[in-house]
Amino acid sequence: MNDMTTRPTHVRYKVVAMAVLLAMVTYLDRVCISKLAPNIMNDLGLSKVQMGWVFSAFALAYALFEIPTAWWADRQGTRRVLTRIVIWWSGFTIATAASFNYVSLLIVRFLFGAGEAGAWPGVARSFSRWIPRRERGTIQGIFFTGAHLAGGLTPLLVVALLPYLHWRMIFVIFGAIGFVWALVWYRWFRDDPSEHSEVNKAELESIVSDRHTEGAHAAGWAYWKQLLLSPNMWALFVMYFPNSFSFYFCITWLPTYLQEKGSFDSTMLGFLAGLPLLLSVVSDLTGGVTTDWVTARFGLRWGRCGVGAAAYLVAGVGLIIAAASASPMVSAIMIALATAASMFTLGASWSTAIEMGRNHAGVVSAAMNTSGQFGSLLCPLIVAYSVEWFKSWDLPLYLMGGLFLLGVVCWGLIDPQKPVFESGE
């Protein structure tokens, strides 16, 4: 370790930069299928319901493998685990191009979700080791900013590429990018700052000064019982469900919704499809800064839960207005604003999971994210069957608005200062 200077190094910000690049590649690969859905449906002869099941296959696999992968990352470290995750999902992004019918596409997207599961809890685990508590909300906001910037630009990028490339080739190009990230991460990253040659003593002390001590990582029923029977965790589960539910609508059905609800040209359609994520870029960062600022002045409960509840109230009201409006443009803008409001809470949500999880941050954040993935699983199907059975795009929006209002109540029940695992902290 380099102790030649008393001025702290800033290697942790390089870790953040690598995590942001991971987030960007994640959403590039995940969002592109929503804009390519009409082309895929046309080529493979898929109905809206079948495409809904394709979208949900990813979310189902993600939910099933999220907690086991995060538990593995907590035990083994994120250097190897995140490398495996990125290589796997990049391979199946490319494999999407080889799909030849409904069943093959369903299988590929399920395996894609299984491979990507654990990526963001793995990042949360990395941040729990590398980022001081006072910076976590802001850093989480920066992380999600990268993800949503990439997601917001992806529809526009796909629109620009489609005149020149077949949808299959777009999957191949996007999938190849992840292999480069995996190589750099594995060669440079270390699981703990104390193991990294570029970190000096001053930076290490800054990082570990408010870190909780290591605890044992059990694997028995008592461990999982403590997790699943915690009222604090159940409030966290229900709170996070609408966040992923509504966001998954934006990265799956929103382009089709806009195409069917309004007569937008291709450029405006690409812009409006990406608008929720583009606005989320601003709300991610400001939300992260806000939760840390409020925490520093009014305490952890107000900084995390107060900020989260206020933003959820805005999101819920916004989606109800979107559903009630007769104007496609008003609906599109309100959906974007509501999504941005929900993304404003991500710094608070993931920082709360880290606080509640402490040395088990990977598992606790994965459990929270798994509840969200059940929302992601249900969303495409609810939308598809709502259109199929009731000829309505508005019912799912009313449902999302109501779920956010329920989330306001759950934010009031969460205590970020109470650890999930009482012993071994």
pTM of the entire predicted model: 0.76
Tokens of 309: 């509840």
Range 222-229, long-range pairs (CB < 8 A, 24+ positions): 223/421, 226/420, 226/421, 226/422, 227/363, 227/364, 227/367, 227/420, 227/421
The CATH code belonging to domain 11-192+223-413 is 1.20.1250.20
Tens digits of residue pLDDT in 18-70 = 999 998 988 888 778 888 888 999 999 999 889 889 988 988 898 889 888 98
- Report d(CA 305, CA 416) in Å as an integer: 8
- Residue reference for tokens 């690598």: 18
Quick one: pLDDT band at residue 424, thresholds 50, 70, 90?
very low
**Within 13 Å and on the Cβ side, how many CA atoms surround 416?**
27
Q: What per-residue confidence (pLDDT) applies to 422?
A: 67
* The predicted structure's pLDDT at residue 228: 86
Mapping DSSP onto H, E and C, the string for 277-341 reads HHHHHHHHHHHHHHHHHHHHHHCHHHHHHHHHHHHHHHHHHHHHHHHHCCCHHHHHHHHHHHHHH
CA torsion through residues 100, 252, 366, 378, sign: negative
Give per-residue pLDDT as tens, 214-256: 555 555 677 788 888 899 999 999 999 999 999 889 888 888 8
Backbone angles phi, psi at 4, to 5 degrees: -70, -20
Q: Is the pLDDT score of 162 beyond 50?
A: yes
Burial of 265 (0-12, 13-18, 19+ CB in 10 A): exposed
222 versus 295: the higher-pLDDT residue is 295
Per-domain residue ranges of the chain: 11-192+223-413
In three-state secondary structure terms, 210 is coil
Question: Residues with Cβ < 8 Å from 117, sequence gap 6 or more?
Answer: 61, 62, 63, 64, 65, 66, 69, 85
Q: Is the pLDDT of residue 274 over 50?
A: yes
pLDDT band at 271 (very low <50, low <70, confident <90, very high): confident
126-135 pLDDT, tens digit per residue, is 998 899 888 8
Four-CA torsion 159, 93, 243, 59, nearest 10 degrees: 130
Question: Residues 254, 136: contact at Cβ < 8 Å?
Answer: no
- 397: nearest Cα among 407, 387, 388: 387
Going by the DSSP 8-state scheme, the letter that residue 230 receives in this structure is -
